[in-house]
Structure 1
Amino acid sequence: MIELIAALQPLVVGAVLIWSSRVKLFSRHAAATANRSALVRLLGQRRALPAYRVLGGVELALGALLLLPPVLRLEAVAATVLAVGFLGYLAYARRAAPTSSCGCLSARSAPVSGRSLGRAALLVAAGGLAAMSPAGWPGALSARPLAGAVVLVAELAAVVALSPELDAAWLLPLRRLRARLTHPLRGGSGVPLLATVQQLQLSDAYRRVAPLLRSDVREHWDDGDWRFVGHAARYQGRPVTAVFAVPLADREPDAVRVAVVDDASGETLLSLAGAPPAGPRLAIAPA
């Protein structure tokens, strides 16, 4: 398997280099991207854009050589050296210009992060494997097409996952989809958590225990006609949890109840209730 992975590395590195060159050579935002990068600090304002363009040309030429068979060992070594240069540049940028943008795979601004360094390290490893492989990628891919396709997809997915500047293309849509599917501000009843929090914050029970609270909402869950909302708190010098019981059917703040529970023993240290709610009564007993 390692022979197959090594033989396919020129495809991975070549594809990444060509994609990176596209931003530097053909993007209308190349000048702005170069000016946001650490090249300005390293080379000066006037030399940043020309250096950015030259780097794009080198990436395009070397990427094309890696994709076109036969792949020579010299090409793989050159790609490894270039990847080592990328890694060194990113380490410099993160230390000397932490607010600068990488400018690597997208014109979108994204500061150099650990993910960026991980991607450069992955390319160094890929280039090294390609330099050590005696086989070419066409033969390896034709001999084991399914396994080869899996390797390529997995590696390119890793490159994308390690590229903060590409988050807008895949990570943000996934987060929006998750929000639509899970409704993070809603409990099982469909009542928004925000409405519950507003109701309890207007309640007498909340005002009476507010000096004890040490956190915002830490957890919440629905049980029957009630929603329970937990806050970290301190009571008589010990860590406790303030558990508010908010009726889902009664919107009056006075219907909110609270129990202060010792975190270590589970004992209810304090229990406060407002006016009886419209729904069923809640009995708060020691755990």
Structure 2
Amino acid sequence: MGTGFAAAQPLLIGLLLLWSSYGKFAEPQQADRTALPRLVGESRAKPAYQAVAAVEAIIALALLLPPVWAIEAVAAVALSIGFTGFLIYSKVVVPEASCGCAGKSAKPVGRRAIARALLLLATAALATTATTGWWSAGPAVLVLVVEAAVFVMLSAELDRYWLLPIRRFRIRLSHPYAGTASSTAPLVATQRRVLLSPAYRAVDGYLRSDIHDYWDDDDWRYLSYIARYDGRRATAVFAVPHHDSTPESVRVAVVDETSGLTLYRPTVLATV
């Protein structure tokens, strides 16, 4: 089983790298939201982003096709180390930068992204011990379902497919201000707009509650959530215009609970 488990890893890694590569080729503008402009310069950020995508695709195909024993797994290890180092650099030097790993996501690099890179590194290291192809792994391939589920849970890009529906269902069952909204708009409608907005995706990793408070002021409704930012107690405040129903019109700021200073305000928000 242990040998089969190691042999199965290239299948998972190859599929993950193909997904990541496709996301970079499909959305090259995502490079501008990462730390690449700071690291290699604005003019070279997009070419560097696409070069990484090409390397991912080559390694993925090498892992999925008949193996050249261990060489492609070692390459995957080196790539994973690079991913991890880049994400740590982004977290420390450009904290507002997004991961840019795959797909559209305006969320800053967080623990989940770094944990995903470390998990990819661990699976690649295990793949270097394989002595047969993934198609010979037998029942061990079924274990990849569990591993894939863990990768999904660590991928902010996929939250809208599973995490947000769960949160919406939970809110429908019980939310703290049901039936108390003003006559301007039902609170549940405002909440739905927030949940569907790029602003919510940009900060949901910091949120620690459902709606904590809300109020109307002229043409805007404000919703606050308890949050934590860099280990500090904070409040996330969403501004939702009454006369613009598009999710992209929602704005958000994370402010320090004690001083009231703005800790984070995403200025460029990705759309779905």
TM-score by length of 2: 0.63
For 1:184, the equivalent position in structure 2 comes to 175
Structure 1: gaps (5+ residues): 187-191, 196-216, 219-287
Q: CA deviation at 1:193?
A: 7.4
2:60 matches 1:68: no
2:108 matches 1:117: no
Contact 1:10–1:71 (CA<8 Å) still a contact in 2?
A: no
Contact 1:185–1:193 (CA<8 Å) still a contact in 2?
A: no
For 1:148, the equivalent position in structure 2 comes to 141
Q: CA deviation at 1:47?
A: 0.4
- Report the Cα distance in structure 1 between the residues aligned to 2:5 and 2:122, rounded to whole angstroms: 11
3-state SS, counterpart of residue 108 of structure 2? coil
Q: CA RMSD in A?
A: 2.0
The partner residue of 1:170 within 162, 165, 170 is: 162
- Report the Cα distance in structure 2 between the residues aligned to 1:22 and 1:71, rounded to whole angstroms: 24
Tell me the amino acid that sits aligned with residue 96 of structure 2: T
The partner residue of 1:90 within 87, 92, 108 is: 87
Change (3 A) 1:16 1:71: farther
- Report the Cα distance in structure 1 between the residues aligned to 2:135 and 2:67, rounded to whole angstroms: 9
The partner residue of 1:108 within 105, 110, 115 is: 105
For 2:96, the equivalent position in structure 1 comes to 99
3-state SS, counterpart of residue 137 of structure 2? helix
For these two proteins, the number of residue pairs brought into alignment is: 183
Q: CA deviation at 1:194?
A: 4.4
Q: CA deviation at 1:133?
A: 1.6
Deviations for 1:40-78, whole angstroms, at most 9, x for unmatched residues?
Answer: 100000000000011001101111111112352100000
- Report the Cα distance in structure 2 between the residues aligned to 1:125 and 1:82, rounded to whole angstroms: 12
Identity of paired residues, percent?
A: 45
Larger of the two Rg values belongs to structure:
1
Tell me the amino acid that sits aligned with residue 112 of structure 2: R
Q: CA deviation at 1:169?
A: 2.0
TM-score by length of 1: 0.60
The residue correspondences of 1:250-269 to structure 2 (distance < 5 A) are: none
For 2:24, the equivalent position in structure 1 comes to 24
Change (3 A) 1:125 1:178: same
3-state SS, counterpart of residue 135 of structure 1? coil
Contact 1:19–1:105 (CA<8 Å) still a contact in 2?
A: yes
